[in-house]
Chain A
């Protein structure tokens, strides 16, 4: 029994409730925003530390023993994902202070943010498949509310697509949960790990697995189910987009990792081959999508998809090294991608546009921002020694070791295309001179900048820009954690033992 597992869920729930109680006071909400997410961050650090030293952590709610009540479980994958949620939540809470509009603050931005985090953390930690559905509902509704906040036409249009497709995903998840219960009579993940292999008709297990695969592939924005993401991610304020980019699709990816290692690994030859194809196509179509656009947020949105592909490939290859690579890639991508969105926000603040054709001249006037952008962008493109290279190296090596040449070639080509997109942003926004026709607006935005606000926005940007370099250079501990996490995924004994208290 460990309360440390519950804190990452409870803290944002409490912070969210507090923010609702002080709905009228923006000052209180801002403080709760920073303190709440800060506490969440600390709690997630503590959780990861505890999981690393003491092994898998379990909390049984209401003291009902598994599999009868609901359990929260933190293995290393869950703890790592939660840590990322905590870190991103904190960074974004700080970034929101100067960048979020009054209107958004007045209409519940902070409570929505906290509850979104609660949903995300709940999804990462729960050890019960129906409970997972509940947390996904929480984060879906919270994200939908955040998406429409502001009520602009473009937002509405994007939000309708977002919610329709995501509801379909939830529906498939619910059907899958129901059918799984019908097959096994249990909802607890560890219990399922024991009981699913005992189902006589194993083919049906694979079929039900397909429903989960579709559901989570939609959430993860995998090919060919990613439409909701590019349709909606460029519409809300940049801090909201960054929050989504950091965490929403990762819930889908996490669930895929969890379901297709712990529970639905009965027919790896089929399911994971399928995942490999999905991953490959996701990488390629995503990166091509990015190449087609000249708007920073749209480019980055498509890159989310592309890199989801890498993560899925890590799962699909299903070797210890590949899974470790997938996990490293998730961590790296959350940091680098979020920061690129944040930098995008800073660029907007300086130039008044996200359109690469309308902005320029930043390298001349803001070399510091340029360096920070390069650190994040090159990390994303997998340039060594930054974190992206680490993930790419591990996954490609895993692919080579099992002689999966097609996916190795795709991953390498996608790396080049990613670099192309990043360099496109660099060459246009930073190198190119500010285009004359939009110089006036740019100048007006430069004049309107409040130095203190800019500094506050730059704080998380700086930290998140240095992290990929730190991870890449100090990679040894990271890879150690990722390897143990991968082993926990491949061999479910420890997980089952921790939850059910018996050796399977």
Chain B
């Protein structure tokens, strides 16, 4: 199983070379892998149908509860079969559609990586592994959407898809981890086996919201639906794959998967029911006004996703059966329709339905397949789409609490979809032949194989409902519902309310088809506000807002002025330390002993005066001299506290510094006072606060008595062990020789740096 899932990645790495060496017909060869996978997954069907789910486990990072464990049940098999089955035809199709494209080998590589990610996603039993694959689908689909990457619009749309799905993905990540932590297991079969562990957990609402955000973003639910139609910038094989069986269905898959664990509550019912129904309506509403052949299909995909989410939300037995049947039906007809749309676009050179006409004679197979698939989309007997739609109406009519709302929206949506199905299947093929950018002729076999087979399957499943029912749908429904349900699928349910609704929907669809031109005019004239206030504007506002915030923040923080940086740094120090000091030490902290000799006070006074003078003087010489005062004062302090050698060192350094400074000062330009008095007051306050803080800290620490500092031992060992009479020397060259070594290198480094600074510039001048 691990090999089956990961083989796509391996082939992805190899396919560029393979494709290049095989040449033109590589698509047919490469399609062998998904075909083989399809057969492999078919092999699981009998056991799963008979004895239920299987878990296959390979350890990955057991310490973090991350494993390559796979859950093979009806639901995951249904998806895996769709992915590998449709994937096979897509690869073949891509070989025709992108024939001669210089980046076709890369395309195969990304496509296989995407397919493998998708398989991993639906088969994973481990929450984190599931998420790993989830993110990989986002990233690989980004690369696919931006395949025509020199087109600015393609880049923009790809980015949009990526940001929306990854943002959702991050919410999902948090949600999944919460689920894992809450349930005490990251393995789905264990989490879902324990019925109420999630529903009764205090985090339930939190994890529900997060999982829903992730699923809704991925499955393009209102108001996050806008990225999906934009994803049409991808080459058509990608659209066909992403929208029929994969990417966008991942969210639906996740909801179906978690239905036994998270579903069944009011929150679940109403959120999914309402959001799903609204999405269903929005999708069909937007489809109706689209003239781009791919846009029509994209919006009907939104419709389908909404329907599925709504059905899962309703969650009754009937609703789940309807959801799984609808899922299968949609995958079949949507994949064929997309591939047919691609064939039309490929052969005529336009994507606009209004610019096509009369192609029936020239592209007969395309026409026929379009009719069959579109009938399924419209939900007409005897196609499988009809069965699915009947079941859906049945489910909405029986929906607890939402029956009226969902049924009305479902019927209206079905009308609009039926209308568009008719537009798709009839307009391009009938009427007068129109002038198109390319001279049309029938598409090559590689591009017809998929649609013909899939459309035929749609017809076959409709006529013989028992094949899908007992073959896979029953197991899938059982997995989603949480317990086994008997499923039978057939066309004729008798004269009942769903049938009436169906007839109503079809009638409405026919009317819309006949008056499509007027409908388009109506949209154009009356409903322009959709574009101005739609969800996509919201995304753009967010996007611009974040960029604005980023620029504003960076301008404020990274102003470029060292004085600002220094002020902030010092103030942060003072506030943090000072605040802690007042908050965490009690007032009884003794501020050390303050009894000082008068000469100590005098020296301290000299240092203070020197420091103040150095900072207020406007004469550089004066500053150097007063700094010298400070230095000598410090040297005196060393002497007073019986460290004569330190004192001597300090005096030498001070002397040298002052001399060097004075030498340099003469080469500097005149002194300018650029700061305003207010600035100087502010700076003085900042400096003063730091000085005060340091003083207080030192006094406070001075009040703490230490019983046995290491210096006592060092003093003892200095002569006996280290053979030195001067303890400072011994510390420097023996006890703490490593410090001295380091400091020696510091001096060496400074020398190298200064030398380089002077010489490198001197040589620049010479050149």
A190 at interface, CB cutoff 8 A: no
**Residues of the A chain whose Cβ atoms lie less than 8 Å from the Cβ of B547:** 291-292
**Residues of the B chain whose Cβ atoms lie less than 8 Å from the Cβ of A161:** 562, 565
- When C-beta atoms are compared, the residue in chain A nearest to B136 turns out to be A384
Question: Is A480 a contact partner of B63 (Cβ separation < 8 A)?
Answer: yes
Complex formed: what's the CA distance from A172 to B577 in Å? 11
Interface residue total, chain B, C-beta cutoff 8 A:
100
Question: Is B568 a contact partner of A227 (Cβ separation < 8 A)?
Answer: yes
**Range for the number of chain A residues in contact with chain B:** 35 or more
Question: Is B576 a contact partner of A210 (Cβ separation < 8 A)?
Answer: yes
Question: Is B701 a contact partner of A151 (Cβ separation < 8 A)?
Answer: no
B671 at interface, CB cutoff 8 A: no
**Residues of the A chain whose Cβ atoms lie less than 8 Å from the Cβ of B522:** none
- Taking CB atoms and an 8 Å cut-off, the chain B residues in 40-61 that contact chain A are 59-61
Question: Is A70 a contact partner of B739 (Cβ separation < 8 A)?
Answer: yes
Known: A149-B756, A208-B701, A231-B560. A384 touches B132 (CB 8 A): yes
**Residues of the A chain whose Cβ atoms lie less than 8 Å from the Cβ of B707:** 185
B748 at interface, CB cutoff 8 A: yes
Question: Is A203 a contact partner of B132 (Cβ separation < 8 A)?
Answer: no
The one of B128, B710, B745 in contact with A13, judged by C-beta atoms closer than 8 angstroms, is: B745
Complex formed: what's the CA distance from A376 to B639 in Å? 58
Complex formed: what's the CA distance from A270 to B549 in Å? 30
Name A's interface SS. helix
Complex formed: what's the CA distance from A417 to B698 in Å? 44
Task: Flag A390-431 by CB within 8 Å of B: 1 or 0 each.
Answer: 100110110011000000110011011101100100010011
**Residues of the A chain whose Cβ atoms lie less than 8 Å from the Cβ of B61:** 390, 475-476, 479
B499 at interface, CB cutoff 8 A: no
B750 at interface, CB cutoff 8 A: yes
A437 at interface, CB cutoff 8 A: no
Question: Is A207 a contact partner of B742 (Cβ separation < 8 A)?
Answer: no
Q: Shortest Cβ distance from A265 into chain B, in angstroms?
A: 15
B620 at interface, CB cutoff 8 A: no
- Taking CB atoms and an 8 Å cut-off, the chain A residues in 63-84 that contact chain B are 64, 67-70
- Taking CB atoms and an 8 Å cut-off, the chain B residues in 549-600 that contact chain A are 549-551, 553-555, 557-558, 560, 562, 565-566, 568-570, 572-573, 576-577, 580-581, 584-586, 589
Complex formed: what's the CA distance from A392 to B17 in Å? 34
- When C-beta atoms are compared, the residue in chain B nearest to A385 turns out to be B132
Complex formed: what's the CA distance from A412 to B560 in Å? 30
**Residues of the B chain whose Cβ atoms lie less than 8 Å from the Cβ of A417:** 546
Question: Is B549 a contact partner of A413 (Cβ separation < 8 A)?
Answer: no
Complex formed: what's the CA distance from A267 to B585 in Å? 12
Complex formed: what's the CA distance from A187 to B710 in Å? 8
- When C-beta atoms are compared, the residue in chain B nearest to A142 turns out to be B749
> Could you write out 23 A-B pairs with CB less than 8 Å apart?
A69-B735, A70-B737, A70-B738, A107-B755, A112-B753, A138-B746, A168-B569, A181-B709, A182-B706, A184-B706, A201-B585, A204-B585, A214-B572, A231-B558, A288-B553, A292-B551, A302-B554, A396-B177, A417-B546, A423-B162, A476-B62, A476-B63, A479-B61
Question: Is A420 a contact partner of B163 (Cβ separation < 8 A)?
Answer: yes
Question: Is B748 a contact partner of A20 (Cβ separation < 8 A)?
Answer: yes
B149 at interface, CB cutoff 8 A: yes
The one of A119, A164, A210, A401 in contact with B181, judged by C-beta atoms closer than 8 angstroms, is: A401
Q: Shortest Cβ distance from A253 into chain B, in angstroms?
A: 18
A98 at interface, CB cutoff 8 A: no
- When C-beta atoms are compared, the residue in chain A nearest to B564 turns out to be A227
B752 at interface, CB cutoff 8 A: yes
**Residues of the B chain whose Cβ atoms lie less than 8 Å from the Cβ of A199:** 704
Question: Is A137 a contact partner of B742 (Cβ separation < 8 A)?
Answer: yes
The one of A107, A181, A270, A475 in contact with B760, judged by C-beta atoms closer than 8 angstroms, is: A107
Task: Flag B717-755 by CB within 8 Å of A: 1 or 0 each.
Answer: 100000000000000001111110111011011101101
**Residues of the B chain whose Cβ atoms lie less than 8 Å from the Cβ of A227:** 557-558, 565, 568-569
Complex formed: what's the CA distance from A203 to B582 in Å? 9
Complex interface: stretch among B164-172, B299-307, B312-320, B645-653: B164-172
Complex formed: what's the CA distance from A476 to B68 in Å? 13
Question: Is B738 a contact partner of A288 (Cβ separation < 8 A)?
Answer: no
A389 at interface, CB cutoff 8 A: yes
Task: Flag B688-718 by CB within 8 Å of A: 1 or 0 each.
Answer: 0000001001101110101111110110010
Q: Shortest Cβ distance from A33 into chain B, in angstroms?
A: 15
**Additional A-B contact list (18), CB under 8 Å, known A164-B566, A183-B701, A479-B61:** A16-B745, A130-B739, A134-B739, A141-B749, A165-B566, A175-B697, A179-B697, A179-B698, A186-B710, A202-B584, A214-B572, A218-B569, A292-B554, A378-B139, A389-B132, A394-B64, A431-B150, A479-B64
Question: Is A201 a contact partner of B745 (Cβ separation < 8 A)?
Answer: no
**Residues of the B chain whose Cβ atoms lie less than 8 Å from the Cβ of A16:** 745
B498 at interface, CB cutoff 8 A: no
Complex formed: what's the CA distance from A417 to B162 in Å? 12
B338 at interface, CB cutoff 8 A: no
Question: Is A201 a contact partner of B589 (Cβ separation < 8 A)?
Answer: yes
- When C-beta atoms are compared, the residue in chain B nearest to A361 turns out to be B150
Task: Flag A126-164 by CB within 8 Å of B: 1 or 0 each.
Answer: 000011001101100110110011110000000011001
**Residues of the A chain whose Cβ atoms lie less than 8 Å from the Cβ of B742:** 119, 122, 131, 134-135, 137-138
**Residues of the A chain whose Cβ atoms lie less than 8 Å from the Cβ of B546:** 288, 291, 417
A353 at interface, CB cutoff 8 A: no
Known: A115-B749, A149-B756, A285-B553. A182 touches B181 (CB 8 A): no
A432 at interface, CB cutoff 8 A: yes
The one of B152, B159, B174, B549 in contact with A288, judged by C-beta atoms closer than 8 angstroms, is: B549
**Residues of the A chain whose Cβ atoms lie less than 8 Å from the Cβ of B554:** 288-289, 292-293, 302
**Residues of the B chain whose Cβ atoms lie less than 8 Å from the Cβ of A409:** 174
- When C-beta atoms are compared, the residue in chain A nearest to B704 turns out to be A183
**Residues of the B chain whose Cβ atoms lie less than 8 Å from the Cβ of A413:** 170
Question: Is B569 a contact partner of A165 (Cβ separation < 8 A)?
Answer: yes
Question: Is A204 a contact partner of B155 (Cβ separation < 8 A)?
Answer: no
Question: Is A432 a contact partner of B549 (Cβ separation < 8 A)?
Answer: no
B676 at interface, CB cutoff 8 A: no
Complex formed: what's the CA distance from A274 to B583 in Å? 14
**Residues of the A chain whose Cβ atoms lie less than 8 Å from the Cβ of B566:** 164-165, 168
Question: Is A207 a contact partner of B752 (Cβ separation < 8 A)?
Answer: no
**Residues of the A chain whose Cβ atoms lie less than 8 Å from the Cβ of B717:** 68
Top-6 shortest CB links A-B? A185-B709, A145-B753, A203-B585, A431-B149, A107-B756, A203-B584
Question: Is B580 a contact partner of A206 (Cβ separation < 8 A)?
Answer: yes
Known: A137-B743, A164-B562, A288-B553. A112 touches B749 (CB 8 A): yes
**Residues of the A chain whose Cβ atoms lie less than 8 Å from the Cβ of B189:** none
**Residues of the B chain whose Cβ atoms lie less than 8 Å from the Cβ of A141:** 746, 749-750, 753
